[in-house]
Structure 1
Amino acid sequence: MAVSSSSKTASTSAASARQGTKSKNAKSVVGAPSQRAQSTRKGKKAWRKNIDIDEVEEGLEELRVEERVTGSALYQKKDEDLFSVDVKGDEQVRKSLRPRFSTSQLTYTKILQQRSAVPAVVTHRTSSTPAYKRKLSHEEKDRLLRMAKKARKGPFNAIMDHTEFGAGSALLELSEAAKQSGGYDVWTQPQEEEEDETAAFVPKKAAPKKPEVDHPKNHIAVPAVRSPHEGTSYNPPVAAHTSLLQKAVEAEEKRVREEEELKRTKERIERMRKTALADVVPGLAPGMTVQEVVDEEGAQETGEVPAKKIPERKTKAERKKAEKLRAEKRLLAERAAQKRMLAAVPGAKALRKHQLKALRDREAQLRERHAQELKDKLAKGLAGQRLGKHTVPEGDIDVQLGEDLAESLRTLKPEGNLFKDRFLSMQQRALIEPRVPVLPKRKAKLKEYEKHAWKKFDREQNAIWE
């Protein structure tokens, strides 16, 4: 039985390394070597600096030799990797190992023939700077800007035409159309759609999600231009003219009532503010009250002393009796609640049916109300409803009084405004949002003042000229 070649190589290299380290510590021929002076080891810094680590270095060197020969430390390898049982023997082992461990070859030849199991060091240059932080050359930056058709600044930060950069030079690349010119006929050959290579791993942009609630304009069936009322004619029927006048009167009365209600609210707020200011005591913060001083001397003179009822202290027996009564009341209340619960158990099914029926009736009423609201919305649009900050206006009723009615179209007086009618119609059909006129803000007039120093300067100049 013989040991394999790999184990022999490892043991031989380790032995030679140990002999080399021992030879360094061998005694000199001319005498004993000088001893290392014992330096101070006071403190952690001095200890780390002056400690003898020769043994540690020897151990690390042995590990490095093992890594160079076998690729890793020997203690990390399994026995199957280090040893093998040779039952046949091989005559070529000695011949294959002869050139490496031969004494007839030169030393530098044997050194050059050594091959370490540790991977070689990377020889090409590597940069620790990230790719996005590396600086580009001026030429490379110009080339990339031309390819991206980005706006570039010239003298005085003026935006320059990208086609003028590099004119007359060979830095401008040909466009893709120029490179492929003459290769196909744009009129006869169908253009094939290019497959996007990034579509396989780049997620597609999601389409905007449609809200669950439909837009109000989808439920409004109001025509853009409504048919005018019969009462707006130059020669209307009496009944139609009367009904239109009644509608106009009701709308005006409603507007007057709202104005009066708003006026009363403002007056009430103003009265409350004045009352609050009248109650404020000078020298005190708003909201604080002053306690009235009781005239004790006057009370003593009259001899009237308020009688104070002193509660009598209960005895121990009375307290026990009261506690017993409270416990009995609590017990009776619990029994009554339990009795009601037991009585309600047989009627639980009937109660459930009653609640379900009430729930169905309420849902039916709610559906009917929504249907009626939708019907009203379809009939008159959003007129009178509040959207956001403002309310959609209902519009004025164009009607003429009986004495203002014309006898013919030639003498008819114009009423209303077509642009205003179209604008209100778009608001009522939920095509545009309700708005109010934005009036320009009034700015205070700029006042000019003459500084005292300038007045003094004027006086001095006038005195000089005089």
Structure 2
Amino acid sequence: MAVKKKKHVSKKNKKDWRKHCDITDVEEFLEEQRLDERLGKFETKPDSELFVVDTGGDLKDEEKPLSAKQKKRAKLTEVPKCFEILLPSSKVPDPNKKRNHVNPVGSKPTALSKLTEKRRLEKGVYQKKIEDARKNRRLAVQKKRKAKQIRQTFDLDLWGKDMPKSKTIPSVLEEEFVSSEAKLHNVLPDQRLRAKPPLPKTVVTRAAVETPHPGVSYNPTFQEHQELLQNVVQHEQKMMKREQHLNRVTTKMFKRVTAQEKENQWKEEMSEGLPKPHNPADDPASDTDNEYKAINPPVKNKKKDHKARRKQRERIEERERLKREKINKKKITDIYRLRKLETSITKREKKQQELRAKRAIKHAEEAATAAPALNAHKAPLKEPDFVEPTQLSGDLLHINPKTNLLRDRFESLQRRGALAASKIMMKKKRKLKSYFKPGHKVTDQEIEKYINKTQAQKIGVSH
């Protein structure tokens, strides 16, 4: 056998090292070590676990095999198969040696459990459980016995005409040259699993195809075309007004500032409350001839004489008198205005009641004709269709259709409530950010190329 020449490969990178290095012996050793940890080593196991001493010998003829009852009793002491997976099979010791020990069920009862058992016996809890179990067993036996009762009357005609049939062959297939098995196989059952719900009344009553405006015709009259034009103008004005409102409350609320102004504002906001640096040029005391001036000049305690105090008291009394006169005058005018206020309140209440009644009638009409709410989305509103006067044609040969028939029918089904209103979902294109992975193999040309690419992307974004 010729010895295969060893192939020398590069093991510079981690990927090549993993690919060309044989580590099967290491993995086998580690796997064997883990198995020994779980099951224990062969040398450390006692002879009682490895060998079994056969003291019984061969089965004698006089020995009778165990009966089914004895086998069942012998299995009572064994652990059930379903609980074997819960038993510890690993020989690895518990890492937490100070784990709290929990007594298994059926172990020595505690003082608390003895006390609870005594209280339950005194209350008669166990006696009630025994009585309920007896009653349930008696009911189960009666139910089983009733189910096993044999019918005594045999008056049912199996071949009679009144026999219920789940499947019947239709009259169309009776004379056809088809086997009866195939006929019965293709016939649907009479009773379905779920009955098809009827359509809502609003869907049934609403017309499938809405009658368009007469001005949409390929050869309309002048008055009908002008009427349709006015409707389209009003619709466009409403849309423009809505767009202006949205622009006013969103975009125009925020003014645009330059980068320098933004930086100055940021500096001013961040330095709010901080002590400003002292500038000797702004000090007003520097203009004087170094003359000392107190910050708080002395105040003279000049007392008021009797005349000044009397004048002050008279002014206060006059102000209070005018205030009381104004309040009394307002009371008198309010008394005379009571009748006028009463008439205005009654008029307002009457007007509100009329508006409320009109609103209720309008809501009732809308609810009667509204399409069923099949989901959270609203059905798209019908846009007014209009043909410009220059594109009007007097015949059907040269007419230019403006709408898509399939889209029109689909939106009509949504407006009528036959289909749930859908919403156009646009997938956003994710901007992938590129990263540069440096390494010892990277050349100067690749670095320069990456820098030029990033600069071009920044210029494109700013424009």
Relative to the length of structure 2, the TM-score reads 0.38
Relative to the length of structure 1, the TM-score reads 0.38
Q: Highest relative contact order (Cα 8 Å, sep 6+), 1 or 2? A: 2
Q: Flag the structure with larger Rg.
A: 1
